[in-house]
Each structure stands twice: as structure tokens, then as C-alpha cells.
Structure 1
Amino acid sequence: MGSSTMLHLPSGPTGVIAKLHPTVMFNICDSYIRRNDQQERVIGTLLGAVSTDGIVEIRNSYAVPHNESSDQVAVDIDYHRSMFELHQRVNPKEVIIGWYSTSSGVSGSDALIQDFYAREVTNPVHLTIDTMFSDETTSIKAYVSTSLTLGERQLAAQFHEIQLDLRLLEAERIGFDLLKKTMVEKLPSDLEGLEQSIGRLQNMIEVVFRYTDDVVVVSFLTIQLEDICLKQSPWCQR
């Protein structure tokens, strides 16, 4: 028989476990709110550590500017590396462990971004967060990828969902529940924020004016009653 080319399929589900710190989730949601109007989603770098038993701890993150279309994606590599250098100065123990995206799952261009981060770290973790938080159990997912190859040629990256451990303290749980209930598409502009602040200040001034008027009226009535009492009743003069 002649030689044949073998199609190598990836193995079954991985045993990798990822632990997500709640501050990372809040940072990602904040970067999504602050995104440009033309952006549908935000991507960024995940920082953390990998323990000796293979557990990945996701401790920090930062957003990375990017542009993408249906068939291509461009990541600002210089910005990514500059931010990583700054983080290394503050906490040199945190290393690149993968990347995140604000989407409900894996999209077509994710394989290209995964390939970039695979050059930064071995077996990068891909974290997805659905910012609508319609279902707490499915809104946050983590993946790793394996290569689908034909002979020596890599065809694509196949994503496998991994176990994600999100542990919240009671105060963090309250904040997470509030985050799910408070839906904000984007932050107000500087002019809108100034207008809202002036409106709140005006309401506060009106409350103070009403309180001051009430105090003046009460004081005036008290003085009038005292004058009447002094003029008509000798007992008041004592």
C-alpha cells in the first residue's frame, strides 16, 4: 500500500481547572462598558499563575484594543506587551495565562486570537463572559484548545470547555448580584455625566431650601407665640 496522510483528531475533554477571582470579572465588565461604540465585544489578556497540580488561577486582566471582521482579526500587540511589562513591574509573579472576550461563547475569529496567545504561553485559557448575565451557570465559561491537524499541517483549533471555579465572599456575592441586575450599555459622556451631576446637585439644593424655609417658619411662629404669651398672660412673664 502507498503512504497515506493521517487526520489527527484531538483527545477528549481536558482535566484543566481554572479558578477565577471576582475582581477579574468586574474588570472585564468595566472594560466592556467603556468600549467604543463600534465595538461589539472586548478582548484582553488574563494574568495569573499555574500551580504545581495544574490549576490555573486567573488573578488579573487588562483590555487589549483590537479590530475584527468575519474573516480576520487584528490585535494591538505593542499595547498588549507594554501593558504586560507595566504589570510585571508591580507584580512579577503574575504571568500571561490566556485571554478573555465578552461574548456568550466561542466565535469564528477566536481561533486566530488563540493562536496569537499560544505563542505567548503554552496552552492558553480562553475565558468568555456573557455581559447580559442571563444565566449565572452559563454566562461565564473557560476553554482550552487543541490542534486539529492533517499530517503535519495544522487545520484549526478545537476548543474544549474546562471546569471553572468562581468563589465569592458574601460582600462579593452582593456586588455580583447587583451587577447582574444593573444593565448599562455604556457609560455616559462627559457632558451627560455633568448634566446628571448638576441635576442631582439641584435636587439637593431644593431639599436644603425647603428645610430652611420650614425652620424659618417654625422660628417665626415660636417668636409670635412668645410675644402673645408675654402680653396676655402674667404667668409667662414669670
Structure 2
Amino acid sequence: MASSEQIVLQFGPSVAIISARVHTLIIFNISDYYVRRPDQAERVIGTLLGCVLPDGTVDIRNSYAVPHNESSDQVALDIDYHNTMLASHQKVNPKEVIVGWFSTGFGVSGGSALFHEFYSREVTNPVHLTVDTAFRNGKATIKAFVSTNLSLGDQQLAAQFQEIPLDLCMIEAEQIGFDVLKPANVDKLPNDLEGMEVSMEHLLTLIDEIYKYVDDVVEGRVAPHNEIGRFISDTVASLPKLPPHVFDKLMNNSLQDQLLLVYLSSITRTQLSLAEKLNTAAQIL
């Protein structure tokens, strides 16, 4: 009896990418692209630039938005704009190459496979970065995906997106700016004094938590933790031993310096505004 040929449903070879990491500036840029998008556009897509580290981690360092159109049955990408922007970026940073693409929204959408297919021709195993610019529930959902092909015999059926670990590189100063983006409604960005006030309130909250933890350990309500105790001891030892009146004087001097900077900045803005108006009036006359 002749044996019948079997058709096997199989995935493509597993990708070599281990993880990805993205710098905070990329998230700020993508959020800015989304705010400045055309009125009819529901999302923004663009190119990610960076490099692949020796351990396989994709280091995402730069980005730029690419105009596109998409509907229920087709998508279109401005390839000429993409190539022009890529050439401009590589003149400044020749070591940065295409490592993937980004889109705004929550997770992978319907047209993502077609865009991913285009970037797959630009680079092997591109990373797809999604940024939820709506910040649902005050959380920034940022995910990274790679794609594997699903085929039936010799026929390719679809592309399956698999999430990979993503590390968000962020320093303390960037964390403050990132937290400003999370609320759904922000009237204005805080100035220097307002930002200092928020930071001091947060610092006082942390000090109260430390006080409570130390009291709980002393009273035996909480088991002591050696690493936390060592960290508290090092922190206290690093503080200068100043009398209260000397500390108050230093704080007042620092506050006066801040107020002086705000005053000088206000004068500079006023002078620039007057110069611009005088220049405009001179051109009209």
C-alpha cells in the first residue's frame, strides 16, 4: 500500500534575539510623534535605530516616525521618506542601523504583519516595539515583539508575534519626566519650584516609611533585614553633621538662587519677545 504524503504545520526557526532594551528618549519621541500626528491618523508608526549587542540584546537608541496610510484591507508606507530619514540619521550616527519599528497602541494590531514584513526586508529579525500612549490606568504598557513564520508544508500562512523581555533604561531625572506623562489630563508641566515641592513631599513620605520600618524592627513587629539596615546606616553616615541653623541657611541660600534663576529667565523671555515684535514691526515699515 502506497504511503500518503503528510503535510505538517510548522513554525519557522526560532529567533536569535534574547531581549531588547530601549532608552527613555525613544518613549518621549514616540509620545511626541503621537501628539503631532495628522487628525485622521489613529496611530503612528516609525523606524527604530540602534545596534545588536554581543549577547544578542537589541539596543534601541533612536527613532523617527514614517508617514503611512492604513485601512481595513490595505496599508501604505512612505518608503522615500523612510530612506531619506535613514540616510540623514546615518550621516550623524553611522553606527546606528535599523533594528526594527514601532507603533502606538495597545499590543499588535491587524496591519502589523504587513509593516513587519517590510522591515524584515530591511533587517533580519526586526523588533516590533508597541507603546500605549493612552497610558491606561496610569500605566505605560511598553512591549517588544519578534515574529516567526507559521507555514503549512511549503506555503506560508501567517506570522506569529512573540513577546520578548524588554528593559526600559531610565535614570532618576528621566523617571520624573516619565511620571508626568502618565496622568490622563495634565494642565501644564511643573516649573522648577513646583517640581522641587513634589520631590520634597515624596522625600518626606519615604523618610516616614523608614521611620516606621525602624520602629517596627526595634519593637519586634518586623524581622530585621541586614541589607536594608546596612543601606540605612550608609545613608545616615553620608549626611554631613550640620547644626539646624546652618542647614536652614544653606536651604535659604539655595532657594534664593532658584528664585534668581526664575527671575532672570522671565526677563530673558520678555526681552526676546520685545525684540521679535520690534523686528517684525521694522520689516513691515
Output the TM-score relative to the length of structure 1: 0.73
Query: Which residue number corresponds to residue 165 of structure 2?
Result: 163
**Residues 111-155 of structure 1: CA distance to partner in whole angstroms, max 9, x if unpaired?**
000000000000000000000112576610000000001112211
2:45–2:68: 8 Å Cα contact kept in structure 1? yes
1:78 aligns with 2:94: no
Counterparts of 1:135 and 1:144, CA distance in 2: 26
Name the structure where helix makes up a greater proportion of residues.
2
Counterparts of 1:72 and 1:79, CA distance in 2: 19
Q: Secondary structure at the match of 1:36?
A: coil
Output the TM-score relative to the length of structure 2: 0.62
Equivalent residue letter for 2:161: F
Counterparts of 2:155 and 2:62, CA distance in 1: 35
Aligned partner of 1:123 among 122, 125, 132: 125
Cα 1:78–1:98 change in 2 (3 A) is same
Cα 1:137–1:154 change in 2 (3 A) is farther
Query: Which residue number corresponds to residue 4 of structure 2?
Result: 2
Query: Which residue number corresponds to residue 89 of structure 1?
Result: 91
Structure 2: runs of 5+ lacking an equivalent: 187-269, 271-285
Counterparts of 1:15 and 1:50, CA distance in 2: 9
Q: Counterparts of 1:88-107 in structure 2 under 5 Å?
A: 88-107=90-109
Provide the aligned C-alpha RMSD in A.
2.3
Q: Secondary structure at the match of 1:108?
A: coil
Instruction: Measure how far apart 1:49 and its partner are.
Output: 0.4
Instruction: Measure how far apart 1:9 and its partner are.
Output: 2.9
Deviates more, 1:7-16 or 1:162-171: 7-16
Aligned partner of 1:35 among 27, 34, 37: 37
Deviates more, 1:173-182 or 1:83-92: 173-182
Larger CA Rg, structure 1 vs 2:
1
Deviates more, 1:134-143 or 1:98-107: 134-143
Instruction: Measure how far apart 1:87 and its partner are.
Output: 0.5
Instruction: Measure how far apart 1:183 and its partner are.
Output: 4.1
Query: Which residue number corresponds to residue 178 of structure 2?
Result: 176
Equivalent residue letter for 2:174: E
1:13–1:160: 8 Å Cα contact kept in structure 2? no
Query: Which residue number corresponds to residue 146 of structure 2?
Result: 144
Cα 1:12–1:119 change in 2 (3 A) is closer
Counterparts of 2:101 and 2:138, CA distance in 1: 20
Structure 1: runs of 5+ lacking an equivalent: 185-204, 206-238
Equivalent residue letter for 1:20: V
Query: Which residue number corresponds to residue 228 of structure 2?
Result: none
Cα 1:13–1:160 change in 2 (3 A) is farther
Counterparts of 1:77 and 1:12, CA distance in 2: 29
Identical aligned residues as a percent: 61
Name the structure where strand makes up a greater proportion of residues.
1
Cα 1:9–1:137 change in 2 (3 A) is farther
Cα 1:31–1:161 change in 2 (3 A) is same
Query: Which residue number corresponds to residue 23 of structure 2?
Result: 21
Query: Which residue number corresponds to residue 53 of structure 2?
Result: 51
1:24–1:61: 8 Å Cα contact kept in structure 2? yes
1:18–1:162: 8 Å Cα contact kept in structure 2? yes
Q: Counterparts of 1:192-203 in structure 2 under 5 Å?
A: none
2:17–2:58: 8 Å Cα contact kept in structure 1? no
Equivalent residue letter for 2:89: H
Counterparts of 1:52 and 1:12, CA distance in 2: 18
Q: Secondary structure at the match of 1:28?
A: helix
Q: How many pairs align?
A: 187
Q: Secondary structure at the match of 1:119?
A: helix
